[in-house]
Amino acid sequence: MINKRDVSLRRDFLGAAGVVTTSILLPDQVLGSLKKLNKPVKIGVITDLHQDIMHDGPSRLKTFIDAMKVEKPDALMQLGDFAYPSKQNDIVTKAFEEAHPRAFHVLGNHEIDAGHSFDEVAKLWGMKGRYYTENINGLDLIVLDGN
């Protein structure tokens, strides 16, 4: 009679072996199809500013922007939970967008807390959409809405 525990252990082993084999073989296949970048790409990233629920959002954003002036990245990205899209938050939204000619937004779950839909927020912030791609000096960024 076949023991269910043995079958389960065998499946676990085969699954793990498949993952290990794939992780060993995949890099050679993937690396062979990747194009080389001409130079490193530097992206300044800020996330979870929470302008509407944290008292120090503007000062934290200023600290980030000041650091980016020194670092001189190729683009800026905010990764969500930034600020409600409202007139009172234009000061932080515009400061972020004006800090670099290539400043990009990603939607977080708190952007809709003031009653906007994700599509409305994307439109108000001038995003291409909730899902989009950007090429930064040869590096293709794929922005996904994980909400």
Model confidence over 70-124: pLDDT tens digits? 999 999 999 999 998 889 999 999 999 999 999 999 999 988 888 889 999 999 9
Taking the model in full, what pTM does it have? 0.74
16-43: average pLDDT: 67
* Average pLDDT of every residue of the chain: 85
Cα separation of 143 and 131, whole Å?
Answer: 5
Number of domains in the chain: 2
Strand partners of residue 98: none
Q: Where is 115: in which H helix or E strand?
A: none
**24-38, 42-56, 91-105, 123-137: range with lowest mean pLDDT:** 24-38
- The pLDDT score that the predictor gives to residue 33 is 58
Cα separation of 41 and 59, whole Å?
Answer: 27
Which CATH number is 63's domain given?
3.60.21.10
Same domain (yes/no): 54, 126: yes
Q: The domain containing residue 57 runs over which residues?
A: 43-143
Same domain (yes/no): 63, 118: yes
- The pLDDT score that the predictor gives to residue 30 is 60
Cβ pair 80, 47 in contact under 8 A: yes
Cβ pair 75, 46 in contact under 8 A: no
Same domain (yes/no): 89, 127: yes
